[in-house]
A = this chain, B = another copy of it.
């Protein structure tokens, strides 16, 4: 196959075809006239086609040149389109974001985040995908996801950057008729003998682990009576009397009847939500998203 001609050569070709005057076209291209002469000669030789006839008084396109001129213009248009798109991508004006979110996020979080971001960056296309924090991290590391809205695990890979944007305390969730339900608050130790309803580790490892660790720290091992795969289910199971639970405070907003939520005394147990992305993949769109969420 004929080697592809350099874009500079094609631009020279088009410029000369517009001007039909080497010296002027060279000036417009900001090169010296001999450079343009050579570029055209090289291009003609490389393609095996004479593009211009240099006559006594002027420079004219050959008919072959006319045919190729259209094609050359097309190549340049495509290249300029590419460059323009790259420029807008790099300016963060446009782009695509693949966003993961954990189902354990408080209900109001995702809609409000996305609404604010879309208002600020209407030309960035967002693709949302629900996944556990662990799955999100794996997908981010694999390049399948740009950012994750997740609960960061205790140990986070070095390639990952997590930006916390929400922090909330835990509350104790008790059945309405539980013996402790009338208290103003409870301590972790108060729950030491209780059966626990807990979120499955594969769903939200951060909460699962944090609760079990906190119990150990409080001097007892939680007796896990029941696992659930949604925060909502945890609360429902507590309401059904299957046990007690600890959940981020926002879980109280779910509005499930027959449970009470009590503040936890003597503990700094808090859960965080963060935006995660690759350390070395801070595209303008990703930065814009982090900025939008953090503010």
Residues of A at the B interface (CB closer than 8 Å) are: 1-8, 10-11, 47-50, 53-56, 58, 60-64, 66-68, 71-72, 74-76, 78-87, 89-90, 95-98, 141-144, 146, 159, 278, 280-281, 283, 285
Q: Which residues of B contact A87 (CB under 8 A)?
A: 1-2, 47-48
**Contacts A5-B79, A75-B79, A89-B64 known; A142 to B280 CB distance under 8 Å?**
no
Q: Establish whether residues A78 and B71, one from each chain, have CB atoms under 8 Å apart when the complex forms.
A: yes
Q: Establish whether residues B4 and A79, one from each chain, have CB atoms under 8 Å apart when the complex forms.
A: yes
Q: Which residues of B contact A71 (CB under 8 A)?
A: 78, 81-82, 85
Q: Which residues of B contact A50 (CB under 8 A)?
A: 280-281, 283
Given A1-B84, A64-B283, 18 other A-B residues pairs in contact with their CB atoms under 8 A: A4-B7, A6-B7, A10-B82, A48-B87, A50-B280, A53-B143, A55-B142, A61-B143, A62-B143, A62-B146, A63-B96, A63-B98, A63-B146, A63-B283, A64-B95, A68-B85, A71-B81, A72-B82
Q: Which residues of B contact A58 (CB under 8 A)?
A: 142-143
**Contacts A75-B82, A86-B47 known; A64 to B285 CB distance under 8 Å?**
yes
Q: Which residues of B contact A7 (CB under 8 A)?
A: 4-7
CA distance A85 to B67 in the complex (A): 9
Q: Establish whether residues A68 and B90, one from each chain, have CB atoms under 8 Å apart when the complex forms.
A: no
A144 CB to nearest B CB, Å = 8
Q: Establish whether residues B4 and A63, one from each chain, have CB atoms under 8 Å apart when the complex forms.
A: no
Q: Which residues of B contact A285 (CB under 8 A)?
A: 63-64
